[in-house]
Amino acid sequence: MKIIYKRQLAIVLILLVKSFASIIYAQNLITNTFNRNTTTLNGIWNYIVDPYETGYTGFHGEVYDKSNPNATSAFFNNYHAKNKLELVEYDFDKSPTIHVPGDWNTQKENLLYYEGTVWYKKSFNYLLKNNSRVFIYFGAVNYKAEVYLNGKKLGIHEGGFTPFNFEITNLLIAKDNYLVVKVNNNRNVDAVPTLNTDWWNYGGITRDVILVEEPNVFIEDYLLQLKKGNSNRIAGSIKLNNLTTEEKVIIQIPELKIEKEIVVTNSNQNNFEIEVPKTIKYWNTDSPKLYDIVVKTNAQIIKDKIGFRTIETKGADIILNGKSIFLRGISIHEEIDGRRANTKADALKLLTYAKELGCNFVRLAHYPHNEYMLHLADKMGLLVWEEIPVYWTIKFVNSATFLNAQNQLSAVITRDKNRASVIIWSVANETPLSDERNLFLKKLILHTQSLDSTRLISAALLTRSENGIGIIDDKIGEDLNIVAFNQYRGWYGGDLATAPSAKWTTPYNKPVVVSEFGGDAKQGLHGTINERWTEEYQEYLYKQNLLMIEKIPNIRGISPWILMDFRSPRRMLPGIQDGFNRKGLISAEGKKKKAFFVLKSFYKKMKLLYN
Ligand code: GCU
């Protein structure tokens, strides 16, 4: 490794060791919004398509935010002509409408391929109670959001798959508040993800939008999970927002007869521990026990349902509650019926398919999914791999790109750290090898460990071969708990007939997971096992790959690519792909292909072997 990177790495290590002391989750992100005093802003919004950003800049490119924030031409001022003479060239209230949450691509036919700026506007009334505070919370906006309320800029958020919120207490009026959001989904070489992805660039306010009302000092965030390596103790933390003096917080787990009082003295993370009784029922995939939790202060009560379990690796084993497991998984994109999935019903449909397959594990690819997926995985007993879209050729040398990736990691870990189902944080997918990439990923790994030392860290790597032997020796594997890799024998090369006798090797004494394998099939297209795109070819590919995978050293799980067909601008074969990646075991219309049943019977066997 070049000297420069050793020095940079040393600096990073020092910085991150310091950050271990005080865990810094995503700045002021309000967690568990499901159980707060909220008002939904989901529903019909007006929108204006603005490819030239006319609502954002003047004709010489001067940005209204900076040069003239009161400009009547600035769309975020939601201006209406005062008389018949005045020149105003937009009008939200007379503009078409669109549903939020939802991507614009599949709601409006003329926006299917649109990449650029779309303005959204929602008007609402709000009666603010004394001594209350109000925040606007977005589940996600893809890709960049600039948010304004009543003409005032609240802030900017970059990253298409993580939540964010802004305080609006002092800007609210009783009637006709106008919330304007500038959404831009242009792809960008410095962004995360970067320019090239094998999924659709769905733009829009793609997840829930809510107003959250809080007391003056409120419970912003809390952690309640088993302490690393200790199944008898809960390691918790609590964060109160706007705390000026000390405040008493009560943590209750009634079923375990636990009541713990914590005196919180500052607005940072306040850590505590709770001994759990021997009667505790640990969360696992066959019996996903969730406990009712109460977190309360004088001014507020928040409830949650949390499962307690341990997860660790020992040599090549993945150990859940002290027992070695095999991850019977499937990869899932956040997509259903050919659109961005974003409701509880969507999540139920996707995860029910996974359960039908016999899965105990889902890889939520290639970005953080909506929160419904994680709460449902907790309830249904599905282990989860979550990842950020550090995908393919990310600009590893760019510090802003690293900060963006780090922020996305912080946000998803902050949001989901109480979900027992989440066992793996993944920092990359199929990223090309280089010193810069290794340093970038190593920093992300250290950041992840500083936020959450209890879960496992992985990445979907690529492999190489020598004399026909598959070699799993990506250097970053040294820093991962689980060495996962994607391979496409029989689709992007490699012979299927001899696959079962293929040899693999790895220098790592760690669990190995095949995070992707598979091949396309057009549902309903039938032929022989020698005809690509047929269901029979995909079925044969699964049979042969599974026979090969069973022999890979240290194999402890798979998450084949992929549960359902999904849209991709890279897949254009007429009559077969038509803008869809067809590697799904289920078509976009919900029809199962023959390979679905090959995987299902394999998992039936693996469940017997491992139980
Ligand atoms: C890659 C990549 C996926 C992609 C898949 C494919 O491994 O991780 O995002 O969709 O292969 O080529 O279908």
Q: What is the pLDDT of residues 15-24, one digit of tens each?
A: 444 444 345 5
What pLDDT is stored for residue 23 in this prediction? 55
Local structure of 376: helix, strand or coil: helix
> What is the pLDDT averaged over residues 571-582?
98
C-beta of 317 in contact with ligand 1 (< 6 A): no
List for the chain the helix, strand, coil content (%; round to 5): 25, 30, 45
Cβ partners under 8 Å of residue 492, min gap 6: none
Choose which residue among 198, 334, 458, 533 to substitute to test ligand 1 binding: the one with the highest number of ligand atoms within 8 A of its C-beta. Answer: 198
Q: Is the pLDDT assigned to residue 2 strictly greater than 60?
A: no
**Which whole number is the average pLDDT over 514-520?**
98
How far, in Å, is the centroid of ligand 1 from the Cα of 498?
23
Pairs from 61-68 (Cβ < 8 Å, separation ≥ 24) = 65/146, 65/153
Q: What is the band of 5 on the pLDDT scale with cuts at 50, 70, 90? A: low
Taking 50 as the threshold, does the pLDDT of residue 548 lie above it?
Answer: yes
Burial group, residue 96, by CB count within 10 angstroms (0-12, 13-18, 19+): exposed
Express each pLDDT in 418-458 by its tens digit: 999 999 999 999 999 999 999 999 999 999 999 999 999 99
pLDDT at 9 (0 to 100): 57
Secondary structure (DSSP) of 154-175? EEEEE-TTS-EEEE-GGG--SS
Q: What is the pLDDT of residue 384?
A: 99
How close is the Cα of 139 to the center of ligand 1, in Å?
A: 26
pLDDT score for 154: 96
Q: Which residue has the tokens 């962004």?
A: 191
Does residue 143 have a cis bond before it (omega within 30 degrees)? yes
Joined together, the tokens standing for residue 446 give: 């250290």
Ligand 1 pocket member 158 (CB < 6 A): no
Does residue 201 have a pLDDT over 90? yes
Closest among 252, 277, 250 to 261, alpha carbons compared: 250
User: Sorting pLDDT into bands at 50, 70 and 90, what band is 269?
Assistant: confident
Residue 25's pLDDT band (boundaries 50, 70, 90)? low
Number of residues written out for the chain: 611
Evaluate: CB of 197 within 6 angstroms of ligand 1: no
From 431, 488, 516, 583, the mutation candidate for ligand 1 (largest count of ligand atoms within 8 A of CB) is: 516
**Tell me, what amino acid is at 425?**
W
pLDDT tens string 456-479: 999 999 999 999 999 999 999 999
- Give the separation between CA 215 and CA 199, rounded to whole angstroms: 41
How far away, in angstroms, is 391 Cα from ligand 1 center? Answer: 10
- Can you give the pLDDT at residue 267? 73
Of 5-9, 160-164, 528-532, the poorest mean pLDDT is in 5-9
In the prediction, which pLDDT does 17 show?
A: 43
Q: Give me the pLDDT at residue 10, please.
A: 58
Tokens 């802030």 correspond to what residue?
Answer: 155
Question: Is the CB of 545 within 6 Å of ligand 1?
Answer: no
C-beta of 310 in contact with ligand 1 (< 6 A): no
Residue 131 has pLDDT above 70, yes or no: yes
- Region 565-583: mean pLDDT is 98
* CB 348, CB 578: distance < 8 Å: no
Question: What's the rounded Cα separation, in Å, for the pair 213 and 277?
Answer: 35
Identify which of 27, 31, 23 has the alpha carbon closest to the alpha carbon of residue 416. Answer: 31
**How many angstroms separate the Cα of 332 from the Cα of each of 255, 339, 586?**
34, 13, 11
| Residues 126, 136: Cα–Cα separation, whole Å | 12
CB distance 581 to ligand 1 below 6 Å: yes
d(CA 235, CA 249): 15
pLDDT at 1 over 50: no
Instruction: Give how far Cα 215 sits from Cα of 75, 129, 130, 244, 250, Å.
Output: 32, 10, 9, 14, 16
Cα–ligand 1 centroid distance for 198 (angstroms): 6
Query: Which helix (DSSP H) or strand (DSSP E) does residue 594 occupy?
Result: helix 594-610
Ranges assigned E (strand) in 434-560: 456-461, 464-466, 469-471, 483-486, 503-505, 512-516, 555-558
Instruction: For residue 566, give the ligand 1 atom closest to its CA.
Output: 10
- How sure is the predictor about 366, in pLDDT bands with cuts at 50, 70 and 90? very high
The verdict on the CB of residue 335 being under 6 Å from ligand 1 is: no
C-beta neighbour count of 451 within 10 angstroms: 21
Which residues are registered as beta bridge partners of 361?
329, 383
* Closest C-alpha to ligand 1, atom 2: 198
Residue given tokens 């007006």 in the structure block: 46
Number of CB atoms found within 10 A of residue 472's CB: 24
With H, G, I as helix, E, B as strand and everything else as coil, classify residue 528.
Answer: coil
Whether 506 lines ligand 1, by a CB cut-off of 6 Å, is no
Q: Is the pLDDT of residue 7 over 80?
A: no
- Residue 558 Cα to ligand 1 midpoint, Å, equals 15
Mean pLDDT of the chain: 95
pLDDT digits (tens, 9 = 90+) for 325-361: 999 999 999 999 999 999 999 999 999 999 999 999 9
Residue 307 makes CB contacts below 8 A (sequence gap 6+) with 282, 283, 288, 289, 290, 291, 378, 419, 420, 421
pLDDT (tens digit, 9 = 90+) per residue, 91-102? Answer: 999 999 999 999
For the chain, the first-to-last Cα distance in angstroms comes to 44
Residue 256, C-beta contacts closer than 8 angstroms, at least 6 positions apart: 276, 277, 279, 280, 291
The C-alpha atoms of residue 174 and residue 276 are separated, in whole angstroms, by 47
Q: Is the CB of 487 under 6 A from ligand 1?
A: no
Ligand 1 contacts CB of residue 486 (under 6 A): yes
